[in-house]
Amino acid sequence: RSRQAEVLALTSRMHLTVEEDLRRSGIVEISLIDGRSASRRVDAPLGHLTNPMPRDALIAKFLDCAGHAATEIPRENLERVIDLVDHLEQVGDVAIIADLLSGRS
């Protein structure tokens, strides 16, 4: 994809350190060219049980991820998957979800 080179260039300037005492928390620090810096600590990332992702954001993320699939997944299949997951306890055979996502259905 066209942005892949930009992403790779950015990641080449990143440094990761692991601090055991942070446990599951994380701190992101950004150093700017002009010498300024900013940091932010996250104790519960978005999607964690204590910081759930709003439904509309979750659906948007699912659709975005599906848009990067190796083979195109029809929009109607994606919408059907969303509906099935919303009513999962009523789905007789969850294999239909895999079928919809693989293009077999």
Q: Is 59 helix (H, G, I), strand (E, B) or coil?
A: helix
For residue range 1-41, list pLDDT tens digits in order.
Answer: 456 788 888 888 888 898 889 888 999 999 999 999 999 99
pLDDT of residue 2: 54
Give the number of other CB atoms < 10 A from CB of residue 77: 19
pLDDT of residue 3: 66
Virtual torsion, Cα 17, 18, 22, 26, nearest 10 deg: 50
Q: Is 11 helix (H, G, I), strand (E, B) or coil?
A: helix
For residue range 64-99, list pLDDT tens digits in order.
Answer: 999 999 899 999 999 999 999 999 999 999 999 999
Mean pLDDT of the 37-48 span:
93
Mean pLDDT of the 39-49 span:
92
